[in-house]
Amino acid sequence: MKKTEKKFSTCLYHEGDVYCTNSTYDGARGMCHSHYINARYHVKKGHMTWDELVEKGLCKKLLTQAEKNINQMHPHKGYEMRKRGKKLDF
């Protein structure tokens, strides 16, 4: 996978049979940016909780610290040792 490529997955948010087709890039509880901001607003105002959204299948559960660490290690990247060659004398 190239540095500019990201994992592609679609937003989990849906209303009835209409699903969002925006990409999440594996962030924000499986929701696109627009739907995450909307859900966060309603959670902060006390209209609903994250647990209710998870039960309805509208978002993913909160990641544990261990899961966050694994995501931040970038396991998809192949780090290679720099090849040692002739040193040029300039």
Give the tens place of pLDDT for each residue, 17-72. Answer: 888 888 877 677 888 888 999 999 999 999 999 999 999 988 889 888 888 777 77
d(CA 66, CA 80): 25
Asked, for residue 84, whether it belongs to a domain, the answer is no
Asked, for residue 24, whether it belongs to a domain, the answer is yes
Question: What is the reported pLDDT for 85?
Answer: 61
| Position 3 pLDDT exceeds 50 | no
Count: domains in the chain = 1
d(CA 59, CA 27): 11
Average pLDDT over residues 75-80: 56
Which of the four pLDDT bands, split at 50, 70 and 90, describes residue 4?
very low
Q: Which domain holds residue 56?
A: 14-65
**DSSP three-state, residue 18:** strand
pTM over 0.75: no
The HSE-up count of residue 74 (CA atoms within 13 Å, CB side) is 8
